[in-house]
Homo-oligomer: A and B are copies of this chain.
């Protein structure tokens, strides 16, 4: 009998362990599946919320623009001009809060953040930016749009 028990005991334990592991495995699988589904739903909501925040901030800019348009319709040029300045300031401030910064264009041409559309003879040192044709913008480290520039070829002769 003692021999029998000794051989039976580990067998029972192993079966019990096997059942516990299987049970834990199935529960974890179900939990993981639910988590994956929840994440998919939440990601859609999250993206929507991030743009909603910005859209909400743009509504007053649209209001200001419409007021400027009314001034234009009534040929109130001073009011129109003032309106445009206001809209510009609001939008520029909003974008600055979002992290938008202008690409710097002082000094040497930088191929990472600038695009050279032309090279021209100039008194400025060769390879420096002498004119900005279109402003460039960065968001954090990322260049959203390179600055389009004219680069000096140095003085010819």
Report the minimum CB–CB distance from A124 to chain B (whole Å).
24
Q: A21-B25, A46-B47, A87-B87 are in contact. Are A59 and B14 (CB under 8 A)?
A: no
A139 within 8 A of B: yes
Which listed residue (B55, B92, B95, B135) contacts A100, Cβ 8 A?
B55
In Å, the complex CA distance between A100 and B60 comes to 13
We find that the number of chain A residues with CB closer than 8 angstroms to chain B is 60
Asked if residues A69 and B55 are in contact (CB atoms below 8 Å), the reply is no
In Å, the complex CA distance between A9 and B139 comes to 66
Report the minimum CB–CB distance from A41 to chain B (whole Å).
12
Report the minimum CB–CB distance from A40 to chain B (whole Å).
10
Copies of this chain: 2
A155 within 8 A of B: no
Name the B residues within 8 Å of A151 (CB-CB): none
In Å, the complex CA distance between A87 and B87 comes to 10
Name the B residues within 8 Å of A137 (CB-CB): 59
A77 within 8 A of B: yes
Contact pattern, A 98-137, Cβ under 8 Å of B = 1, otherwise 0: 1110000000000000000000000000000000001101
12 contacts between A and B (CB under 8 A): A21-B21, A31-B32, A35-B36, A47-B47, A50-B50, A52-B144, A58-B58, A58-B91, A59-B100, A66-B135, A77-B80, A84-B84
